[in-house]
Chains A and B, each alone.
Chain A
Amino acid sequence: MGWTGKVLRVNLTNGTVQSEPLNMEWAQQYLGQRGLASKYLCEEVDAKCDPLGPENKMFFATGPLTGTCASTGGRYSVITKGPLTNAIACSNSGGYFGAELKFAGWDMVILEGKSPKPVYLCIIDDKAELLDASEIWGTSVWNADEWIKSKHQDPMMHVATIGVAGENGVLYSAIVNDLHRAAGRSGVGTVLGSKNVKALAVRGTKGVKVKDPRAFMKATNDGKKVLAENAVTGSGLPTYGTQVLMNAINEAGAMPTRNSREVQFEGAHDISAEAMATPRTTDGEKNLQTNQACFACTIACGRISKIDEKHFTVVNKPQYWHSSGGLEYEAAWALGSNTGIDDLEALTYVNFICNEQGLDPISFGATVSAAMELYELGLLTKEQTGGMELKFGSAEALVKCVELTGKAEGFGKELGLGSARLCAKYGRPDLSMTVKSQEFPAYDARGIQGMGLTYATSNRGACHLRSYTVASEMLGIPEKTDPLTTDGKPALVKAFQDATAAVDSSGLCVFTTFAWTLNDIAPQVDAACEGDWSPERMLEVGERIWNMERMFNHRAGFTAKDDSLPPRLLKEAAQSGPAKGLVNGLEKMLPEYYQVRGWTADGVPTNETLSRLSV
């Protein structure tokens, strides 16, 4: 119950598929999705393997609540060793694909080896087969999605696919499902491309059952009520999307601007949620057309946008005149504030292309931003950029960059390396705003101190979704802490990391935690799944997952040295806003963090900790 109890194992090298039972003992320890698939990864994959070699494996995993009516119960994650970071990668996506996989009867799909030629995996309930993808290899996400549905004459099918970026080895390629929802980070799309797999297409007509339907309906209805009555999940997110943050974070002086040289962006308002919802002066239409929910989500934060047809990016391209996935806060920041560009329509276009070509807009935008700084410092020349004036604020340059990167053409090939490799290549590794080679998201760690520790210790490289202390430091959820001090942050980060790992493993969306705690979530899991699932047990599962992920990275060769931040955040003080004069106090937080984690001073989980958690 909750789980279907079935795993689909696909050997790409031999072209075989087989069904096997889900390891229920592990399911009781790791719940599902992120935790459970990471357990499989740790058991089956050598942490030292080449992430783009056939010995790496991929796990497409749902949670026990995926495919139920629990609000946001539609998530899936892709777990693998990531090529951007060489660390454990786990990218989570919404849309409808995850639920469809569950309806086809599968908790998880495991891809092993490497296909000799381009294929896609087609799953129709119990039947799974590898089919020839030569006609869609080299084409976009949007084309592959349409081609597969039309080939199978089934518009109800759901497709997760890579674009050309994943085929061309761009190190931050995403897997995009339902046209514009993405398992976006750490280059999971690059791994799929390295295996010669274009897409997974799924159609499911079976049901998902829960342990105690009456208790489940009560728990999920109670939960939905909490979401509806909460200001963030009931009003802020549906109305403004995650972009509700743009002006607030900017005012807080925590908006990384122009490759984190500054912490406030003068053009923030022009690319904010409010701007998206205001009729344009050009054509009188709004950028934001409507909001959209992922499967089962009663929040509905997704943005559906339409670009001004007369805008320079699309004026001769009617294929982009339709509505599609619009800017979320991370993309608006990475493509906008971080590059100094305040042209909302241009950013929306670049976001469309990221979806179409299968690029992570955070890493892409941050890499362009680093390249812009290199260019302005004269370390990158116009000859090297192929004639591009790669200056901060240039929408034309950004548009050119996105068009080149997925295709790996010209300077786009270098942008596809990500900012850490790019900056190292041009002699200034310090200008890369990354941890473990993964680019930061949209919160400056000088203005929100806890996020510095969050980035430094995130198991998948810099990431906001591993421990969103912004909730506490900025919004007072679950309780307000001072964003400008390091006091209490180690314990706060640990608590967020553990709770988030549990949420990610349930099949629910982490955005619910603006309103929900594990006290709201545990009863839903408990009513759906065998075993007694208390909030305390969920938290323990989360801590177990965190330590297991950490051990994978330890085996892969990561040490305490990698729990660091770029010198800019540690040495160059913020120049404006509430954090003026501050750097991030990582060195004050990290030793205490290791301590509260039960790790050695070198950041390695002690035997005592591992045995307490049965890792």
Chain B
Amino acid sequence: MLKALVIDAGKCTGCKQCEMACSLENEGEFNVAKSRIRVFDFHTEARFVPYTCTQCAEAWCQQACPVNAITTDSMGVKIVHENLCVGCKVCTIACPFGTVNYNASTGKVIKCDLCGGNPACSEACPTGAITYQDVEQGGFDKMKVWAAQSANAASSEGPNVPKASSASGTGH
């Protein structure tokens, strides 16, 4: 079973425990500047949004790498091989989402590798905003919320249009 990080931004409080867990796992210290996952603060819109690599099936970072330093493992994870990476940063340009980044202190790029199948960020998240789930069922929780709402709407008056929910991942 392939698994993926599923992010429900509506549950995020902006505490950055995910960033600290990530940096501890990958850098051996608490250092959010070196985290592979980032929480963005849109607090004027009352939203906090964690964001990281989604492990694209057809990964542009991998295709762009001139020295084949990025490979795909059996779980579909795109992994940067530090011994091969020459720090050319072409992958950082190729990635449409900005989730591959250059680490100036090592001269290599860094990206999420799902911690070898046990992502530290999801384990550290105190609110369940980041979960590690079967990739084929990532949307089921959202579907369930919408299903419940449409069932309610159908059984009462009012239009059959569910309102945005926290599970929609877009905040309140």
Evaluate contact between B46 and A208: CB separation under 8 angstroms.
no
Evaluate contact between B27 and A297: CB separation under 8 angstroms.
no
Asked if B14 lies at the interface with its beta carbon under 8 angstroms from chain A, I say: yes
Evaluate contact between A293 and B15: CB separation under 8 angstroms.
yes
Q: Which of B153-172 contact A (CB under 8 A)?
A: 171-172
Asked if A213 lies at the interface with its beta carbon under 8 angstroms from chain B, I say: yes
Complex Cα gap A498–B28 (Å): 34
Complex Cα gap A484–B13 (Å): 38
A-B pairs with beta carbons under 8 Å apart, 10 shown: A207-B27, A207-B31, A213-B28, A289-B172, A290-B46, A290-B47, A296-B20, A297-B13, A298-B126, A300-B127
* Min C-beta distance of B120 to chain A, whole Å: 10
Give every chain B residue within 8 A of A213 (Cβ-Cβ): 24, 28
Evaluate contact between B45 and A69: CB separation under 8 angstroms.
no
Evaluate contact between A103 and B48: CB separation under 8 angstroms.
no
Q: Which A residues are closer than 8 A to B by beta carbons?
A: 67-69, 71, 96, 99, 103, 156, 179, 204-210, 213, 224, 228, 238, 289-298, 300, 304, 306, 322-324
* Min C-beta distance of A602 to chain B, whole Å: 47
Evaluate contact between A304 and B43: CB separation under 8 angstroms.
yes
CB-CB nearest in chain A for B32: A103
B17 in complex: contacting residue of A208, A238, A298, CB < 8 Å? A298
Evaluate contact between B29 and A290: CB separation under 8 angstroms.
no
Asked if B33 lies at the interface with its beta carbon under 8 angstroms from chain A, I say: yes
Evaluate contact between B15 and A298: CB separation under 8 angstroms.
yes
* Min C-beta distance of B121 to chain A, whole Å: 11
Asked if B64 lies at the interface with its beta carbon under 8 angstroms from chain A, I say: no
Evaluate contact between A207 and B29: CB separation under 8 angstroms.
yes
Evaluate contact between A205 and B126: CB separation under 8 angstroms.
no
Complex Cα gap A285–B151 (Å): 24
Evaluate contact between A322 and B13: CB separation under 8 angstroms.
no
Give every chain A residue within 8 A of B30 (Cβ-Cβ): 67-69, 207-210
* Min C-beta distance of B41 to chain A, whole Å: 8
Give every chain B residue within 8 A of A323 (Cβ-Cβ): 43-46
CB-CB nearest in chain B for A179: B43
Asked if B34 lies at the interface with its beta carbon under 8 angstroms from chain A, I say: yes
Evaluate contact between B48 and A292: CB separation under 8 angstroms.
yes
Complex Cα gap A208–B48 (Å): 24
* Min C-beta distance of A404 to chain B, whole Å: 26
Question: Do A304 and B15 form a contact, CB below 8 Å, given A69-B21, A103-B33?
Answer: no
Complex Cα gap A289–B13 (Å): 12
A208 in complex: contacting residue of B15, B29, B127, CB < 8 Å? B29
Asked if B23 lies at the interface with its beta carbon under 8 angstroms from chain A, I say: yes
Question: Do A69 and B43 form a contact, CB below 8 Å, given A207-B27, A289-B172, A293-B13?
Answer: no
The 5 tightest CB contacts between A and B, nearest first, are: A207-B29, A289-B46, A207-B31, A293-B15, A205-B33
* Min C-beta distance of A498 to chain B, whole Å: 29
Question: Do A300 and B31 form a contact, CB below 8 Å, given A69-B20, A324-B44?
Answer: no
* Min C-beta distance of B112 to chain A, whole Å: 18
Asked if B111 lies at the interface with its beta carbon under 8 angstroms from chain A, I say: no
Give every chain A residue within 8 A of B36 (Cβ-Cβ): none
Evaluate contact between B33 and A293: CB separation under 8 angstroms.
no
Question: Do A293 and B27 form a contact, CB below 8 Å, given A103-B33, A156-B33, A304-B46?
Answer: no
Complex Cα gap A99–B23 (Å): 14
**Interface SS, A side:** loop
Give every chain A residue within 8 A of B28 (Cβ-Cβ): 207, 209, 213
Complex Cα gap A238–B15 (Å): 12
B126 in complex: contacting residue of A179, A208, A224, A306, CB < 8 Å? A224
For B26-64 the 0/1 string (1 means CB < 8 A from A) is 011111111000000001111110000000000000000
Complex Cα gap A296–B24 (Å): 14
Complex Cα gap A228–B13 (Å): 14
Evaluate contact between A300 and B43: CB separation under 8 angstroms.
no
Complex Cα gap A532–B32 (Å): 28
Give every chain B residue within 8 A of A156 (Cβ-Cβ): 33
Complex Cα gap A336–B84 (Å): 63
Evaluate contact between A228 and B126: CB separation under 8 angstroms.
yes
B16 in complex: contacting residue of A208, A238, A295, A306, CB < 8 Å? A295
Give every chain A residue within 8 A of B48 (Cβ-Cβ): 290, 292
CB-CB nearest in chain B for A234: B126
Known contacts A296-B17, A300-B15; 12 additional CB pairs below 8 A are A71-B126, A156-B33, A179-B43, A205-B31, A207-B27, A207-B28, A209-B28, A209-B29, A228-B126, A290-B171, A293-B13, A296-B16
Give every chain B residue within 8 A of A298 (Cβ-Cβ): 15, 17, 126
* Min C-beta distance of A242 to chain B, whole Å: 15
* Min C-beta distance of B38 to chain A, whole Å: 9
Give every chain B residue within 8 A of A228 (Cβ-Cβ): 126
Give every chain A residue within 8 A of B43 (Cβ-Cβ): 179, 292, 304, 323-324
Asked if B145 lies at the interface with its beta carbon under 8 angstroms from chain A, I say: no
Give every chain B residue within 8 A of A296 (Cβ-Cβ): 15-17, 20
A204 in complex: contacting residue of B13, B33, B124, B127, CB < 8 Å? B33
CB-CB nearest in chain B for A286: B172
Evaluate contact between A205 and B29: CB separation under 8 angstroms.
no
Give every chain B residue within 8 A of A306 (Cβ-Cβ): 46
B13 in complex: contacting residue of A99, A103, A300, A324, CB < 8 Å? A300
Evaluate contact between A290 and B172: CB separation under 8 angstroms.
yes
Question: Do A205 and B20 form a contact, CB below 8 Å, given A289-B172, A322-B45?
Answer: no
Evaluate contact between B13 and A291: CB separation under 8 angstroms.
yes
* Min C-beta distance of B43 to chain A, whole Å: 6
CB-CB nearest in chain A for B126: A298
Complex Cα gap A469–B36 (Å): 43
* Min C-beta distance of B110 to chain A, whole Å: 13
Give every chain B residue within 8 A of A210 (Cβ-Cβ): 30
Give every chain B residue within 8 A of A297 (Cβ-Cβ): 13, 15
CB-CB nearest in chain A for B15: A293
Give every chain B residue within 8 A of A96 (Cβ-Cβ): 16
Give every chain A residue within 8 A of B20 (Cβ-Cβ): 68-69, 296
* Min C-beta distance of A103 to chain B, whole Å: 6
Complex Cα gap A300–B48 (Å): 12
CB-CB nearest in chain A for B23: A207
Evaluate contact between B15 and A295: CB separation under 8 angstroms.
yes
* Min C-beta distance of B101 to chain A, whole Å: 12
Give every chain B residue within 8 A of A304 (Cβ-Cβ): 43, 46
Give every chain B residue within 8 A of A294 (Cβ-Cβ): 15
Complex Cα gap A290–B12 (Å): 10
Question: Do A69 and B124 form a contact, CB below 8 Å, given A207-B23, A207-B34, A208-B30?
Answer: yes
* Min C-beta distance of A180 to chain B, whole Å: 8
* Min C-beta distance of A190 to chain B, whole Å: 27
Give every chain A residue within 8 A of B172 (Cβ-Cβ): 289-290
CB-CB nearest in chain A for B125: A298
